[in-house]
Structure 1
Amino acid sequence: MENEVRSEILKQADAAYASGRLEEALDLYRQVLADDDSVAWAHSRTGAILAQMGDLEAAEAHLRRAIELDPNLPQAHSNLGNLHYQRGDFAAALEKYKRAVELDPNNPTFYENLHAAYKKLGRIGEAVDAIKRAQRLKRQQLQTGARAEVASTGTRVSRRAGCLPVGLLAALLVALLAAALS
């Protein structure tokens, strides 16, 4: 399979995964892995799907293979942490979640996972810190998305005669967003 074809199949698989069509996504990831067993992303997603389907042994094998292939793939560490969490091994889950955060400190989901593990381990102060960080990151992402949307909208609006200046529109939208998030 050529790289372009593999990339297209991975895009289709990711889209199916994102929309909750897990069987379809699993088939597509397996198609990639049948051709090339060294695609860490496909192993990570396959492991995540298998874990959701309850096949924890196969899920673990794929997640460990993903980490073996790419030790810096934060999703694989987080997904393996989720597997440990499902099994009730909260200490092992915590270690994997910490590694995911080290690799991608701007992912709020990883902090939410940390929160859950800390909470299960009775480490309430650290759990609170983790959930606060997750919430802060989500707000930042919303604000960044809103600013990008305003910039995009502002460009279209500024082309129309008699419209409010883009700067004023941006300021109004950011103020409304900040008020809504408070």
Structure 2
Amino acid sequence: MSDGYQLLEQGERLLAENRLDEAIERFRRFLDDFPDDLEGQYQLGIALYEKGELEEALLRFARVRVLNPTDPRSYDGMALVMMEKGDFGEAVRYYKEALERDPENVDLLNELGIAYHELGDEDTALAIYERAIQLEPNFGYPYYNKARMLVDKGRYEEAIANLEIAISLYKGEREKLTDVLFELAGVYEDMMDDTKAVEVYGEILMLELDNLEALVSLGSIHLDNCEYEKAVAYFDRVIKLDPQNDSAYLEKGYALGCMGDVDTELEYLEKCLAINPDNKYALSNKGAALMEQGRFEEAEVFFRRAIEVDDKYSWPYYNLACLCALRGDKESCISHLKQALELDPALKEDALRDICLEKLRRSEAFRRLLEEDTH
């Protein structure tokens, strides 16, 4: 093998290892001596695309087309660039050009389906995924992408069936299998089947014991189901793996507060805010914890700070309403509650049962507010 082609081989190896700068350097040196080498131009285009240098990548793929107009990879490469740019119409055009040259390429069909999905043409996308599956029933991606579309349509059982096929095909490929399992867990969460979702997240942890996303999801599910000790255990694992994860301190603090340990809740909210002083959820939760301790002035500061961070976040207004009710300031309470309900009408349910608003429920203004259509 000549020294020049050794450079090409080195570039391909470095590209496979995601060492993009080194790969690009090798490909450029190779092309200095062999400017019309189709493989070198294509591989450089892929490396540039992976690095995000889209304009030059497009030029390299166009050069491949000039060198060999029948090679579908030039059109596939240009389609990849257009997908990254968000120009899905152009991506469709290039994928079709590629498929004219390689009509039974299931990878191209799968990518074309994704492009149509992005364009909002779901019926065409589904038909293309079906075509890919007919051509290669053991190719997992079309099942996965088809399932994602079925979820959007609320066709959960069909989505699950397709994901289970994809799982069976990816048993030996951990990264792909993990992606499909996350999608399946999300479907079960959409269906409010937390038991199944927990099982699937558990399968992910069997593949990757310290998968942060799965640990966070499990903590959140247990928190939503008032299983506070289990939630705390998962968020502890997240904090150990990622000490700068402000949300983990927030969620653990909330769980501790629900268990009645407000002092420790405040400690964890402080840790959260030390990492991210603008975490609106922590600001509002800290205000609520201080309010529970009767520290009303301090609580109000944090509620108003949360509103400064995001004036469209409903809970600080609701908490201010509770604070004003506890102070006996009925007018301010109604005003803040109105703001909260305008942002989130679902808070009516909380207002109807919240003990801090109990005295206001006899108020005509309070009853009128809850009877209003806030949509």
Task: Confirm or deny a common fold (TM above 0.5).
Answer: yes
**Structure 1 gap segments, 5+ residues each:** 142-179
Residue 133 in structure 1 maps to residue 339 in structure 2: yes
Partner of 2:277: 71
Contact 1:91–1:117 (Cα < 8 Å) also in 2: no
2:297 to 86, 91, 94: 91
1:106 to 275, 292, 312: 312
Residues 65-92 of structure 1: per-residue CA shift (max 9 Å, x gap) = 1001001111111111111011111111
Partner of 1:30: 236
Which of 1 and 2 has higher RCO (CA within 8 Å, sep 6+)? Answer: 1
Partner SS, residue 20 of structure 1: coil
Amino acid at match of 2:275: L
Residue 49 in structure 1 maps to residue 255 in structure 2: yes
Contact 1:94–1:118 (Cα < 8 Å) also in 2: no
Count of aligned residue pairs for this structure pair: 144
Identity across the alignment (%): 22
Partner of 1:181: 373
Residue 59 in structure 1 maps to residue 251 in structure 2: no
Partner of 1:162: none
Q: Distance in 1 between matches of 2:285 and 2:301?
A: 12
Contact 1:91–1:121 (Cα < 8 Å) also in 2: no
Amino acid at match of 2:218: Q
Amino acid at match of 2:373: L
- State the shift of 1:46 in Å: 1.0
Residues 93-127 of structure 1: per-residue CA shift (max 9 Å, x gap) = 11111112222322322211010112223433322
Compute the TM-score of the two structures, normalised by the length of structure 1.
0.70
Q: Distance in 1 between matches of 2:316 and 2:225?
A: 20
Bigger-Rg structure (1/2): 2
- State the shift of 1:36 in Å: 2.3
Amino acid at match of 2:314: P
